[in-house]
Amino acid sequence: MTKIISIFCNVFGVPADDITETKSLSDLRFDSISIIDLQIEIERTFELKSETLGLVSEDTLQTIVTKIKDIEHEK
């Protein structure tokens, strides 16, 4: 979770105080393009196969962590 928060803050400039486990990407003001950029950055950071994460605007920090764990479990 720390790596994802770091990406939110350092790459996308989201203030750390704004990030909670239950705020959606749209709540954090991510648009469709920035969601794709976030997905690419997370896939790169966690060494996931490209386009496997499938982020959507309703995703939260909690659901992103779950998706990553599910993908890693499938490896």
For 13-68, write each residue's pLDDT tens digit.
Answer: 999 999 999 999 999 999 999 999 999 999 999 999 999 999 999 999 999 999 99
> Which CATH number belongs to the domain containing residue 30 in this structure?
1.10.1200.10
Reported confidence tier of residue 12, pLDDT bands at 50, 70, 90: very high
Give the span between the Cα atoms of 58 and 74, in whole angstroms. Answer: 23
DSSP three-state, residue 38: helix
Instruction: Name the residue range of residue 46's domain.
Output: 2-74
pTM here is 0.92
Number of domains within the chain: 1
Radius of gyration of the chain from its Cα atoms, rounded to whole angstroms: 11
Give the span between the Cα atoms of 21 and 61, in whole angstroms. Answer: 5
Phi, psi of 60 (to 5 degrees): -120, 175
